[in-house]
Homo-oligomer: A and B are copies of this chain.
Amino acid sequence: MKVTGISHIAIAGDNPEQTRILYEDILGLISGSSEVVEQEGVTTHFYKAGESTIELLEPLSAETPVGKFLEKRGPGLHHIALEVEGLDAYVRKLKEAGIMLLSDEPTLGAHDMRIIFIHPKSAGGVLIELCEHQ
């Protein structure tokens, strides 16, 4: 039961071409695969940064959580994802401590990882994803 690193930093974006030019052409990050995650209502584009990735989220529609985030706050940092070992034990520990989660149990995210989100109200205003390889 431990945090092994930062899996990714997720950014809500409305201008993927500007992002591509900066991250790929100028900073030289390797661009990974794109993936539609229907459950989260987003298309994700990954850019590799060392052991971690920067994940650009584009909403599938204005009605999705990321679509609403963009309308309310504009493009910018959306959440961070910590890779863990022992996700189920973490979920029990978080619940015992009264930490608010966005779902009762882990769900399936991009790259076939099991994920759960900690509510920003319980985490200093930061949406934190915990994720674990299956």
Chain A interface (Cβ < 8 Å from any Cβ of B): 1-6, 9, 11-15, 18-19, 21-22, 25-29, 49-52, 54, 56, 74-80, 82-83, 90, 93-94, 97, 99, 118, 120, 122-126
Contacts and interface: CB of A to CB of B under 8 A. Distances in A.
A97 to B, nearest CB: 5
A71 to B, nearest CB: 13
B82 A125 contact: no
B50 A28 contact: no
Contacts of A90: 27
A100 B62 CA distance: 29
A13 B123 CA distance: 10
Given A122-B22, A124-B11, A49 B99 contact: no
A52 B11 contact: no
Nearest to A29: B3
A59 B85 CA distance: 33
A42 to B, nearest CB: 15
Nearest to A77: B77
A95 to B, nearest CB: 11
A51 B5 contact: yes
A27 B21 CA distance: 36
A52 to B, nearest CB: 5
Nearest to A2: B28
